[in-house]
Chains A and B, each alone.
Chain A
Amino acid sequence: MRAWIAGMAAELGLAAGFIAIAFAIAAVAILLR
């Protein structure tokens, strides 16, 4: 069960990571404008 919770947390963490990368890419795009 603990492994499952860790897996779920990792997946949600990955999804949050996507948002962080999105902000980083947007920042670069704005700076390079």
Chain B
Amino acid sequence: MIRRGWLSYGQDWALVLYYSGRVTIGFGLLMAIPMLVGIAQQDWYDACIFAFSGGVTVAIGYVLTFIAGRPNRPAQWIHGLVITAVAWLLAMLLGALPYELSGYYLSYLDAIFDVMSGLTTTGLTLIQHADRISDALNTWRFLVTYLGGQGIVVMALTFFVNESGAFKIYVGEAKDERLLPNVRSTARAIWRISLLYLVVGSFILFISLVVWGFPPVRAIWNAIWMFMSAWSTGGFAPHSENILYYHDPFFEFAATSIAIVGSLNFAFHYALWQGRWREIRRDLEFVTFVITVNVLWALVAVGLIHTGTYTGIVELVRMGWLNLVSAHTTTGFSNIYAVQFPLEWGGLAFLAVVIAMLFGGSATSTAGGFKAIRIGTVFRAIQEDIRRLLMPESAVIKTHLHHVEDFILNDTRVRGAALIILLYLATFGTGALVLTMYGYPLNQALFEAASVTGNVGLSSGVTSATMAPLIKVMFIGMMWVGRLEFLSVFVFVTHVIRGVVRR
């Protein structure tokens, strides 16, 4: 039979279900961690919630792998994309079980919204009474964010999948750069970097909290959770007032610094950890990030000085810079109240934050948004075209760039970068349009749509449990496509539609 390069039903779905099942089993096993927290604290209700939810998740994963059977051929690119989309959907639906059973959510829709927000490292939340939830449930909230940042497929590749074709699954999760020749070692390197930072970053935050008067045990929990949130550029906090709760400038700057480091490309981390210092100066993505952060910060500073919102330099940097960096790294920590953005930030600073949220961090990192590499690529392409117009027609112009390795700018790269930026803009535009249809003011609609599309998590006051269900569903979809960078979801949806039509 001649294959048309497209999934044929039956065998291909079996392959997709098999690997999705493996990822689901891995995800379910992780519920043991919050369960153990519950047991250790003699919080039997939460321990039972996680035992039950974990059991159900693992069982569903096993059933899927059982139905599918072990595949007799390696996964192709197309499978990788569909596996990722399916695995993320399953994780969203099953990861919400403990949330729903905890009683802190008004509906199951709110619970899956929060799981998707966590997995995509967005950080918008619909939880009720966040200050009162148990340590076990908080551990799960932050674990979901931490895992989502590394990628649940990366997790599965590290620990549960050892077949050839693994790289093709890995790419589906918007992590298309290999740090090492072998995908399994790449996934492991990602984990090694993240876990080492977990220890060091949590310690820095712990010291900051203890110095500020936190009881040591509470400080340990808060430091670990806030590290997971910052490193994954998530933005959840164990308190309803987010990072403002701590009222500690050092803690805020430390958390923001961790978020900046977390928003850098894993390949960039790896290069520096190998002693390749020149990357700091040469890497197109890092240089682009430095430029866009500082230009946008200058705009925010001018805007805030103009409106007179913050008078002293420390206050200006603490409120202005922290929120801008939080937006640019797509973290979503905020030390001001949501309504202050539309009410106190004026036009310029507000718009600069919206642009920062769309720009986002680095590719192959935990961040969302366009990603700095794409902005850099498109900018250099424009530059090359201008040079071409200025030179004689016979001149051959080549732009040499460096990102992970040396390369020459070509149309394929520019096209890829431009198309993804265009898709982000289309998603952002659609989101803003729907929000204005629901009667939200334009500035808030733009802010919230940028925040959701870029997986940021800052809010201008739109996101709340009282939001219309359709908006919640739309936000879930936007977070999902934004995090997986469209391709996985498009291939999955097209595949389902084609399958239905074929029948």
Contact = CB atoms under 8 A, between A and B. Distances in A.
Contact of B313 (A4, A10, A12, A26): A26
A23 B312 CA distance: 11
Contacts of A14: 260-261, 280
Secondary structure at the A interface, as helix, strand, loop or mixed, is helix
Interface residues of A, number: 22
B301 A25 contact: yes
A18 B260 contact: yes
Contacts of A10: 272, 277, 280
B333 interface: no
Interface in B237-277: 253, 256-258, 260-261, 264, 269, 272-275, 277
Nearest to A23: B317
Contacts, number: 68
A11 B274 CA distance: 13
B264 A21 contact: no
B294 A29 contact: no
A15 B316 contact: no
B419 interface: no
Contact of B298 (A4, A8, A15, A25): A25
B321 A22 contact: yes
B310 to A, nearest CB: 10
Contacts of A7: 269, 272-275
Given A3-B275, A23-B317, A11 B264 contact: yes
17 contacts: A3-B273, A3-B275, A7-B275, A10-B272, A12-B261, A16-B257, A18-B257, A19-B253, A22-B317, A25-B294, A25-B298, A26-B301, A26-B317, A26-B320, A26-B321, A29-B301, A29-B302
Interface of A: 3-4, 6-8, 10-12, 14-16, 18-19, 21-23, 25-27, 29-30, 33
Interface of B: 196-197, 200, 253, 256-258, 260-261, 264, 269, 272-275, 277, 280, 293-294, 297-298, 301-302, 305, 313, 316-317, 320-321, 325
